[in-house]
Structures are given as C-alpha cells and as structure tokens.
Amino acid sequence: MVCQRCNGLGADAETCSKCGTRLATRQSQERRGWVSFGASVFLIVFMSAIWIWVDGLLAANARTDAALAQFEGRLNVAFALVVVAGAFGAANGWLMARSGIRNRVLIFGLVIVFVSALFVACGATGVYHPS
C-alpha cells in the first residue's frame, strides 16, 4: 500500500501512519502512472503538431512584419515550454508506473514550466498589434 500524499509505504492499515491519508494499492498507483504517461505523451505529440502548424502559418508573413515576428518568437517559446512540461509529466508517469511512487520534483517542475508557458503566452498576446 502506498500513501497518495506523502508517498509513504504502509503495511496492512487503511490509512497512512504519517499523514492519515487513505492508502492506495501499488497496482492502482501503477495504473495512474501509465495514464499519466499516456496523457503526457499525447500532450507532447498534440502540442508539437499544433506548434508546427501554427509556425507554418505565421512564417511567411513574419519575414515582413516585425511585430508578427516578435509574436511568433514568444509563441514558439510558449509551445516549447508546454512540450517540456509534457516531458516532465511523461517522466513522472513512467517512474510512477514502474515504482508506484510519484516524483515530487518532477511534478513541481511540471507545474512551474506550465505556469511559465501560460505567462509567456499571455505576454505574447499583448505584443502583437496589427497595423
């Protein structure tokens, strides 16, 4: 049995001895890891496809318009950060599927990178003002 909150290993008890959270079986944690891995790989593939598509749409006009080029650059950074967040999620899912225990460092990194991507994307929308 594995605690979902503190990753503590328990014996036959229903709740964790450290934090009091209900324990989950190792198999259910491993299933959650595989679901996390699959969702993260889907995020990486889907966002990469959208990134290539949007980059192709904007590339022709970005050579003549400096504001559009700056917008495209920031948008590329946002897409790259989302793909990196997906890679962190895939790594965490893989480790969780193999061991049943999640990696808090990877989860923290995923959240930080994803929030950074949101801030970059919001900042990109304020840059482009077509004239």
Q: Identify whether 62 is part of a domain.
A: yes
Task: Check residue 92 and give its pLDDT.
Answer: 94
Which phi and psi (to 5°) does residue 27 adopt?
Answer: -65, -40
Bridge partners for 9 per DSSP = 2
pLDDT of the residue at 11: 65
Q: 72 with 52: CB under 8 angstroms?
A: no
DSSP conformation letters of 62-91? HTT-HHHHHHHHHHHHHHHHHHHHHHHHHH
- The domain of 97 spans 27-125
**Which pLDDT does position 60 carry in this prediction?**
78
**pTM as predicted:** 0.80
Domain membership of residue 32 (yes or no) is yes
Is residue 44 assigned to a domain? yes
What is the predicted pLDDT for the residue at 71? 86
Count of domains observed in the chain: 1
Q: Is the pLDDT of residue 8 over 70?
A: no
Q: Residue 6: which of 118, 18, 105, 15 has the closest Cα?
A: 18
Residue 77 counted as domain residue: yes
Checking if the pLDDT of 27 tops 70, the result is yes
> Is residue 130 in some structural domain?
no
pLDDT tens readout for residues 41-99? 999 999 999 999 999 888 877 778 777 888 888 999 999 999 999 999 999 999 999 98
| Triad 35, 40, 41: Cα angle to 5° | 100
> Does residue 17 surpass a pLDDT of 80?
no
Q: Please state, rounded to an integer, the average pLDDT across all residues of the chain.
A: 85
The residue that leads in pLDDT, 13 or 87, is 87
